[in-house]
Amino acid sequence: MTKALLWAALGTGITFGMTSLGSAMVFLIRKKTSEGMQRIFLGFAAGVMIAASVWSLLIPAIEQAEAVGQIGWIPAAGGFVLGAAFLMLMDGLLPHLHAGSAQPEGLHSNWRRTTLLVLAVTLHNIPEGMAVGLSFALAAQQSGAQAALTGAMALAIGIGIQNFPEGAAISLPLHQEGMSRGRAFVYGSLSGIVEPIFGILVVLLAGFIGPFMPWLLAFAAGAMIYVVVEELIPQAHLGEHSNVGTLGVMAGFLVMMILDVALG
């Protein structure tokens, strides 16, 4: 358990650190980021999350279930549906506002626009933290876990890469909304704090319900795919020319696939 917690803390610490580095771009970028660049970032994040859901979560869930004599697709499909349902519920309950949108989502609140913007990114950082934490927990549970550990590191690196532009995508709009650069950096960084929190929480949970690890892995995959389909891909294709968003998705998928296969 201690090893799993330490590894999960390391992995989610990497992803959180990359979010903070991205948020620091508010000190360097003076001009508003172009819509084309934003679509590339969103598409890239979507591609990374799709590939991570398949290679780092669903396939290991199926393999682990079959290794203990279960029918592999049952926990994979069941966990996937539950994960998507969880994010759908959170999306409907938690007040949040997507960048470029004038209409908040979730329950009505009197929260400030800047708070709602931060919550929008925070919401889809939850499954990312779960995914990284579970990957390291799985690696810690396996004997001779070098391959599993490198695979978990590949996932953390991939999520971290897409967290860099994600951090910038929250700090820059906050500054454009009138917030100081320092506060925008802090808020952008804090949007990623849920990753180590949820990463460590799922490791603690997995320690008590180890037989349900395939369900938890698939749960994280379903939550991530929900974010991709409901938010990232639609936003990546806003505007007249969607090719850049499509190329971003393909690039992100390719990078995550290479990382997982090469390191895993």
CA-CA distances (angstroms) from residue 1 to 67, 212, 213, 236? Answer: 21, 16, 14, 39
Those residues of the chain that have pLDDT short of 70 are: 1, 30-34, 96-107, 109-117, 142-145, 206-207, 209-210, 237-242, 264
pLDDT of residue 213: 82
Residue 6, amino acid: L
Whole-structure pTM value:
0.79
pLDDT of residue 98: 62
d(C-alpha 134, C-alpha 195), whole Å:
12
Which SS3 state, helix, strand or coil, does residue 96 take?
Answer: strand
pLDDT of residue 235: 75
pLDDT of residue 81: 96
pLDDT of residue 185: 92
The phi and psi torsions of 148 (rounded to 5 degrees) equal: -65, -35
Residue that the structure tokens 């490791």 belong to: 203
C-alpha gyration radius of the chain: 18
pLDDT of residue 114: 65
CA atoms within 13 A on the CB side of 149: 12
Residue 174's region, left for phi above 0, alpha for psi from -120 to 50, else beta, is alpha
d(C-alpha 201, C-alpha 132), whole Å:
11
pLDDT of residue 99: 59
H-helix or E-strand spanning residue 146: helix 146-176
pLDDT of residue 196: 92
pLDDT of residue 74: 93
pLDDT of residue 18: 92
